[in-house]
Amino acid sequence: MANGVAGKSERVSEGILGWLSWSLLAVGIIAVVAGAFVWEPAGDLPVRRKIPPFELNDQDGAKVSLDTLRGKIWVGTFMFTTCRNACPAMAAELLRIQKTIRNEGALEESLRLVSFTLDPGNDTQRRLAEYSKQQGIDSRLWSFLRGERQDIARLCEEGFGLSAGGGREPAGPALGVPHSDRFVLVDGRGQIRGYYRPSAVAGDLEKLIDAARLLLEEDREG
């Protein structure tokens, strides 16, 4: 009788241990999965804001507008040719993106770079054309736009949500205009999908290009 009770107790204990083991395993799996969702939100590119309509002239004198960019994924930046603060580093990163675009067929078809000058008084069309030639800018892929200073400052601050120094005229190359160095990823519908600082944050260039590829996939899927 005692042996029967002991055997029954052992079976109950084994059952409880087995149940606990499976419970702990399930909790572990849930934790790993939850951790993956917390730490790897890849592919999550929410719409941040909608770019308002604009129409400006590029370095070749051609009109570029939100409508002409429709259907293209593009990276927007605000800078100017005589800037000696953030702009040289920004230009270097943009040239790296341009090189990547040239080397990747899908990107060459669908990704563009669009820079807006914050100093249109000095950045005439001729100056922008000269700067483009000096920097090795491919105008098929990278447009440098100019217009009225206040219009561009308003577009920067109200449309893109970036600092443009309040539209002030640059105080010279050394001081310039205190402006944002962010790169803004815009989808084919004119919607901002991400902000990046590749000239200041290690790894942001790769994140930006990967995000652009994700938007290409999004467009293909409808």
Average pLDDT over residues 121-136: 97
Q: Which residues contact 110 (CB under 8 A, 6 or more apart)?
A: 72, 73, 188, 216, 219
Encoded amino acid at 45, one letter? L
Which whole number is the average pLDDT over 130-142? 98
67 vs 189: CA distance, rounded Å: 9
Judged against a pLDDT cut of 90, whether residue 3 lies above it is answered with no
Tens digits of per-residue pLDDT, 184-212? 999 999 999 999 999 889 899 999 999 99
3-class secondary structure per residue, 115-160: EEECCCCCCCHHHHHHHHHHHCCCCCCEEEEECCHHHHHHHHHHHC
Tens of pLDDT along 51-103? Answer: 999 999 999 999 999 999 999 999 999 999 999 989 999 999 999 999 999 99
Domain 49-220 fold is Glutaredoxin (3.40.30)
| Whole-prediction pTM | 0.77
